[in-house]
Amino acid sequence: MAPSPVVKVLAIETSCDETAAAVIGDDGHSLLSNVVETQIAAHQPYGGVVPEIAGRRHAQAIRPTVERALADAQLTLDDIGGIAVTRGPGLIGSLLVGVNFAKALAWARGLPVIGLHHIEGHMLAPLLDHTDDDVFPAVALIVSGGHTSLFHAERFGNYRRLGRTLDDAAGEAFDKVARLLGLGYPGGPAVQRAAEGGNPAAFRFPRPVPERNRLDFSFSGLKTAVSNMTRELGPEGVEARRADLAASFQAAVVDVLFAKTLAALDETGAKRVILSGGVAANGPLRNRFRAEGQARGFEVLIPPHRFCTDNAAMIGVAGARRLAAGLRDGNELDAESSWPLPERYQEVLSA
């Protein structure tokens, strides 16, 4: 496909509970605006994301969010040359809002539109402030509320999955343990805060290694171990030991995530790690990766917090490249709630 002139790209992300829009400049990676309208308060009373509420909230928030992204960039739709949108995976009712808004806008304005993979977005977040040569090749650990996977990212568009979770995602484990400890939603930041001052060695929670593939993850046994311990301690015991429980759980997750990443570096020979996704906002996890990278001589790329949790900027960098390469989606573009990340996702760019 023939390359197209590089244009400013409007990016839209609505896969879960954040309505997000961003504008990427016509160099393909500079960020002109980044707006995230979070729904946390709407889901808080339920202790987790309620898909029906999420979809309705996206429908209400999508237009003002896009308008704010354009206003923050001091642009109008006349300045936009293409639209990038998260196609999946995620909550179907949430994805449909973003995808259909993007398609309608593209149709009305005669603009090209392209659907992107949410996990690729997380993986490419470092491209917001690095060149390709500074990012690839790398082992990418993507840890979020819906995903925990390791990839060998050889170059843009070329990602081999090395391992994935067989049950819960790491963020899901944080959210469930937060509930067990009587902490709020979202669980990750609440567990991290509760763990401050706790003893990470107070409880020895399991660090499971799945038998079939040592690079796969499993967090359900860890969650069950915490659940059993909270039952054993009773409400007063949990209250008294909350910091130790949170710190010990967090330490187990960090240990497992780091050990698998180290094994992936060993297997691929890569010298660089990308750590991204919502759980990569976790302080002790970031610190562990940075410290080990320094001690063992591998480079660690971790986006700033706001680009680890869901955002449209990461979708914009992935989309701008494809649009510039002449790739587009037609009217058949549809939301995909389950969609494995394709291994060779960018034939045109890597040809």
Which residues contact ligand KG4 by CB under 6 A?
A: 16, 144-146, 171, 174-175, 186-189, 192, 277-279, 281-282, 309-310
Q: 211 exposed, middle or buried (CB, 10 Å; 0-12, 13-18, 19+)?
A: exposed
Binding to Zn ion (CB under 5 A) within 108-127 occurs at none
19 touches Zn ion (CB under 5 A) = no
Q: Is 21 exposed, middle or buried (0-12, 13-18, 19+ CB in 10 A)?
A: buried
Residue 144, interface with Zn ion (CB under 5 A)?
Answer: yes
Q: 174 touches which of Zn ion, ligand KG4, none (CB within 5 to 8 A by kind)?
A: ligand KG4
By CB under 5 A, tell whether 17 contacts Zn ion. no
Footprint of Zn ion on residues 291-310 (CB under 5 A)? 310
Find the shortest distance in angstroms from Cβ 277 to Zn ion: 6
Please say which residue, 196 or 347, places its beta carbon nearer to ligand KG4: 196
Task: Give the whole-angstrom CA distance, residue 93 versus residue 18.
Answer: 13
Choose the one of ligand KG4, Zn ion, none that binds residue 25, judging by a C-beta under 5 to 8 angstroms depending on kind.
none
148 in contact with Zn ion (CB under 5 A): no
CA–CA separation, 202 vs 205, rounded Å?
9
Dihedral angle of Cα 85, 87, 91, 93, to the nearest 10 degrees: 70
Length of the chain: 351
Q: Which has the closest alpha carbon to 179: 42, 48, 39, 52? A: 48
Q: How far is the CB of 144 from ligand KG4 (least distance, A)?
A: 3
Separation of alpha carbons 218 and 235, rounded Å: 27
Residue 192 contacts which entry, ligand KG4, Zn ion, none (Cβ below 5-8 A, type-dependent): ligand KG4
Which segment (20-28, 138-146, 193-201, 223-231) binds Zn ion by CB under 5 A? 138-146
Stretch that binds Zn ion, among 47-55, 139-147, 297-305, 321-329 (CB under 5 A): 139-147
310 to 147, 237, 261, 278, 304: CA distances (angstroms): 12, 35, 22, 7, 12
Min dist CB 27 to ligand KG4, Å, is 26
Alpha-carbon distances of 335 from 85, 103, 339, rounded to whole Å: 10, 11, 10
Closest CA to 98 of 57, 48, 157: 57
Among Zn ion, ligand KG4, none, partner that 281 touches (CB below 5 to 8 angstroms by kind): ligand KG4
Gap between the Cα atoms of 262 and 207, Å rounded: 15
Q: Could you tell me how many residues of this chain bind Zn ion (CB under 5 A)?
A: 2
List contacts with Zn ion (CB under 5 A).
Answer: 144, 310
